[in-house]
Structure 1
Amino acid sequence: MLRMRQICLVAASLEPAIEELCGVLGIEVCHRDPAVARYGLENALMPVGNQLLEVVAPTQAGTAAGRYLDRRGGDGGYMVILQTDDLAAARARIDGFGIRIVSEPNHGDYVGMQLHPRDTGGAILSIDWNDGDQSGLDGPWGPAGPDWQRARRTERVRAMTAAELQSDDPAKLAERWSEILDRPLAKDALGRPSIALDDAVLRFVPAKDGRGEGLGGLDLAVTDKAAVLDAAMGLGCPIEGDQVTLCGTRFRLI
């Protein structure tokens, strides 16, 4: 199993980002993790169907998140967090490639490894494992708190179906991620490099927005596209066709 279980965005200020995302997508905060304060951060997590959308924001100077905001010119995508059912195999593969691990959260029933973005390219890639019954898609997920399911709201959006990573050399970046994840590289209907996960797709595109390499966008399966677009218009969010920009991230509504 390899699922796109969580996506993390970074914002200069947390509450406005949460208000925008919840106001437009019709989602709700399920958990705020006080443990991220040790990294000079605050956060909030919101279910999107059975996946989680997180926003982090720096609370002090000199954080990695703050440097990332400066480097990419503002709010945007930060981390791609995948769930595996075989962390030992993933760890052996990562070690074999000589990829550095920048953080290894370990809470007993939840263990992860965040890979150094200079070794992976694209964004911070985290491969994590969670104990408990994962036979259903709404199994336990440590970062989201003990009862994240209570906050699911699917009246407007029901799943994150793709993450879009942008680069000056998307083909090279795609090859690297394919190697790291041990997943075959393919092309989508438009000829763009892509990697299929069990519940979503990683797509690799040219960087054209002047912000350089990074996590640029997400595809959302929507229940009520009109409601999302109306809410985005009401808040003055940029809209281009079926695409809405929230927290510096392109959200494509499908």
Structure 2
Amino acid sequence: MPSYMRLRQICLVAPHLESLISDISAILGLNVCYRDGNVAKYGLHNALLPVDTILLEVVAPFRADTAAGRFIKKTGGRGGYMAIFCCDDPDARGKHANAIGVRTANVITHGPYHGVQLHPRDCRAAFIEFNHTQGSDDILGPYPPAGPNWQKSIRKDVTQALIGVEMQSPEPHDLAEHWGRIIGVTVGTNDDDAPELKLPNARFCFIKGESEIMSGLSFKVADIAKVRDTAQARGHAVSGNEFLLGGVKFRLTA
């Protein structure tokens, strides 16, 4: 099997699930494709929304003493929770991470899906997960965490794609090099001379900030003004072409 690495899913965490899902759906014109009962064992409930072929997930704790709840308390609700990558061999990627000092936090197997989650403290800024669904290397193929018919929920009339992830750190070059070593991507620079990791379907850019968090998501939309106006109408402060939602900046591009 040829080696590959793509962004498959971004996970945000919120204290309350339904209000954030309602805002994301209304502002970005996205449909919920699935609610995964398997996350209940972690004290969470969730919802997933496809943004073209990348899934946007929101999780929220429903009981005390969960990892997600501790994350919210630690960060004050700022920052994305997890970056999830599909690849050819999650176990090999996990072993490589272990060899450079990044521990495995959890291994999930729900045939034909297999995922390796890395320890967030070692990853820095956010969880990293590598996964693979056996028998499906098609980006529009089966993906059990998103439900049996996730493809049917894709909408592109408002939001066309999730194209970028912004990571923040007091030492952005160092964090970029660290993530690059973990996921096996060479660090480059973007048009603003900021370090970035370029994947086939998304870019991770690294900017300077007070703390290490996943600070923003960039979306390609059909009509920036319309999305911006909807965000304002739902009570969110808009600055330029971005607004804060679910603890991260949502940035709009045409």
TM-score normalised by L of structure 2: 0.94
Alignment of 1:12 onto 2:11: no
> Given the superposition, is the C-alpha separation of residues 75 and 206 from structure 1 closer, same or farther in structure 2, using an over 3 Å criterion?
closer
Alignment partners' CA distance in 2, 1:183 and 1:25: 30
| 2:98–2:104 CA contact under 8 A, matched in 1 | no
| 2:47–2:59 CA contact under 8 A, matched in 1 | yes
2:115 to 100, 112, 115: 112
1:95 to 91, 94, 98: 98
| 1:12–1:75 CA contact under 8 A, matched in 2 | no
Alignment partners' CA distance in 1, 2:213 and 2:133: 26
1:214-240 CA-partner distances (Å, limit 9, x unpaired) = 111011111222221121011011211
Alignment partners' CA distance in 2, 1:103 and 1:86: 16
- Greater shift after overlay, 228-237 or 50-59? 228-237
Q: Which residue of 1 aligns with 2:179?
A: 177
Alignment partners' CA distance in 2, 1:207 and 1:68: 18
- Greater shift after overlay, 149-158 or 46-55? 149-158
Q: CA deviation at 1:50?
A: 0.9
| 1:11–1:76 CA contact under 8 A, matched in 2 | no
| 1:3–1:197 CA contact under 8 A, matched in 2 | yes
2:50 to 47, 51, 58: 47
Residues 1-254 of structure 1: matches in 2 within 5 Å? 1-74=4-77, 76-135=79-138, 137-208=139-210, 212-254=211-253
Paired positions, count? 250
Q: AA paired with 2:201? A: D
Question: 5+ residue gaps in structure 1?
Answer: none
| 1:43–1:57 CA contact under 8 A, matched in 2 | yes
Q: AA paired with 1:155? A: D
Alignment partners' CA distance in 2, 1:29 and 1:232: 18
Q: CA deviation at 1:92?
A: 3.0
Alignment partners' CA distance in 1, 2:114 and 2:171: 32
Alignment partners' CA distance in 2, 1:76 and 1:17: 14
> Given the superposition, is the C-alpha separation of residues 61 and 49 from structure 1 closer, same or farther in structure 2, using an over 3 Å criterion?
same
The percentage of counterpart residues that share the same residue type is: 41
| 2:162–2:217 CA contact under 8 A, matched in 1 | yes
Q: AA paired with 1:197? A: L
| 1:131–1:140 CA contact under 8 A, matched in 2 | no
Alignment partners' CA distance in 2, 1:193 and 1:122: 15
Q: CA deviation at 1:244?
A: 2.0
Q: Secondary structure at the match of 2:216?
A: strand
TM-score normalised by L of structure 1: 0.94
Q: CA deviation at 1:24?
A: 0.4
> Given the superposition, is the C-alpha separation of residues 223 and 132 from structure 1 closer, same or farther in structure 2, using an over 3 Å criterion?
farther
| 2:168–2:214 CA contact under 8 A, matched in 1 | yes
| 1:10–1:75 CA contact under 8 A, matched in 2 | no
Alignment partners' CA distance in 2, 1:250 and 1:7: 13
| 1:132–1:139 CA contact under 8 A, matched in 2 | no
Question: 5+ residue gaps in structure 2?
Answer: none
| 1:51–1:160 CA contact under 8 A, matched in 2 | yes
Q: Secondary structure at the match of 1:166?
A: strand
Q: CA deviation at 1:75?
A: 5.4
1:83-112 CA-partner distances (Å, limit 9, x unpaired) = 112324313312322321111111121111
Q: Secondary structure at the match of 2:6?
A: strand
